[in-house]
Every structure is written in structure tokens, then in C-alpha cells.
């Protein structure tokens, strides 16, 4: 007979972009796994929908591009639970469709502000918290994309941000060593979320040769399980990089 009682010292996680998609799936699986989870996102109603009535969910409306919002998010987590063990740095946008000569500077800057600066602000607060807590340390998981390896056509702003995420991940991992802080990146391809409708994966995504092709997708809960695997690794192990794609999608050999 297994013991179904909650752990005596449940781990604390912060999930950004928790109101939908991968963030929602990860937050719900972490709650089911026994984590205490702070759900961050711009839309409170969607955060509350993710949380349901779970007693260990904390919904905190937050714009990750606003330093004061991010500081308040982590302050609320520390006030309620005293520490942060895991940050899933997930909030992001796809940004404008177009090549580098077609997109506007405003759209470029907006994409970098959310995907890069927002991720940096959240990671910075997490690192400061993980350095100061007792016991020290924790794990940051950055949500990249297979675009960090191979871009889609007309996705220059998004692709650049995901390459930047790789640099952020490696730098945090290096600088966090002496404090017991590890950082890894998960690069997901074609999990079934709202953003897949934006780029037409289900109806015909633009390919490198100019054609459109309906691409396979896989359930978002399976992507969330991969994130949970990274989160659940012992502190003695660092998972630097994980790539999870829909079986048969045009990634290896893309173009």
C-alpha cells in the first residue's frame, strides 16, 4: 500500500505563463506531484482557472517585463512559503511573422522584452532567492524551443530570442555552481498549444521551400512530463538540455 499523504517538506515552484499552454500543463502536474506552485501570468482569471481550488496554488498576476511586478511575485512566494526550489521560466510570445527586412523595430523590441528580458528578470529574482535561502540552491528550467536549433521561415525575432535563451541558460548554470543552483533548457517542438494555431502547424505550416505542410503535434501533458522530469532530478544532477518533439515532425532534416 502506497502512502498518499502530502510530503512533509513540499518543494516550491514558480511557473510563469501559467495561464495557458505549456505553463498551465506544467503547473497542474507539479501540483498533482505535491509541489507548492506560484502561478504567474498577466491574466488573473486564467491563472485561477489553472489553479482550480488547489490549496497549494498561489495565483499572482504579473507582467514579466516589469521589474516591480517580478520582484513582487517572488516576494509573495517567499512570504508564503519561505523559499523557491524551482523556476520554470516559460512566459513568451511568438512575435511578428516576417524576415529581418519586413518586421518593425517596435515588434522586434516587444518580442525581446518578453522572451529575453522577462526571462532574465525572473531568473535574477530566482537566483537571488536561491542564494539567500537555507538550504541554499535550486533549479531553473528555461523554456526554449527547437527554434534555438533550427528556425522556421519568417520567425527572425522569435528565433533570436530562443538562441539568446540558450546563452542565458548556460551563463546561469556556470555562475550558479558555487551556490547549488543549476539551470537547464527544454526545447519543445510541436506540442499542441494555442501558439501552434498561430503558426498554422495543424492546417499547414510554412516550410523552408515555401510550401505549407500539416505537421504532427503531440499532447501538451507529455511536454509537461518532460519538464517535471527535469524538476524532479536530485540536486546532485544538472540537466543541461532536453529536446522533445512530435514524432515525425520536420525538425531533423528540416528544409
Catalytic residues: 158
- Taking a C-beta distance cutoff of 8 angstroms, is the pair 150, 251 a contact? yes
Amino acid at each position: 500500500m502506497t502512502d498518499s499523504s502530502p510530503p512533509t517538506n513540499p518543494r516550491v515552484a514558480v511557473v510563469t505563463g501559467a495561464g495557458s499552454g505549456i505553463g498551465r500543463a506544467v503547473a497542474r502536474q507539479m501540483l498533482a506531484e505535491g509541489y507548492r506552485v506560484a502561478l504567474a501570468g498577466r491574466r488573473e482569471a486564467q491563472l485561477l482557472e489553472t489553479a482550480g481550488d488547489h490549496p497549494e496554488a498561489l495565483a499572482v498576476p504579473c507582467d514579466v517585463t516589469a521589474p516591480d511586478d517580478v520582484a513582487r511575485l517572488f516576494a509573495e512566494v517567499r512570504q508564503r512559503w519561505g523559499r523557491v526550489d524551482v523556476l520554470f521560466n516559460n512566459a513568451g510570445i511568438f512575435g511578428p511573422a516576417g524576415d529581418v527586412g519586413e518586421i518593425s523595430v517596435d515588434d522586434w523590441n516587444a518580442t525581446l522584452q518578453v522572451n529575453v528580458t522577462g526571462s532574465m528578470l525572473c531568473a535574477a529574482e530566482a537566483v537571488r532567492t536561491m542564494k539567500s535561502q537555507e538550504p541554499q540552491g535550486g533549479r531553473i528550467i528555461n523554456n526554449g524551443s527547437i527554434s534555438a536549433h533550427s528556425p522556421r521561415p519568417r520567425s527572425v525575432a522569435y528565433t533570436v530570442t530562443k538562441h539568446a535563451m540558450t546563452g542565458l541558460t548556460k551563463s546561469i548554470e556556470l555562475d550558479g555552481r558555487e551556490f547549488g543552483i543549476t539551470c537547464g533548457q527544454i526545447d519543445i517542438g510541436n506540442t499542441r498549444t494555442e501558439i501552434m494555431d498561430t503558426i498554422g502547424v495543424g492546417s499547414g505550416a510554412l516550410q523552408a521551400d515555401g510550401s505549407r505542410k500539416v505537421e504532427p503535434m503531440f499532447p501538451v501533458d507529455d511536454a509537461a512530463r518532460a519538464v517535471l522530469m527535469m524538476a524532479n532530478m536530485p540536486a546532485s544532477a544538472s540537466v543541461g538540455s532536453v529536446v522533445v518533439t512530435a514524432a515525425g515532425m520536420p525538425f531533423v532534416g528540416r528544409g
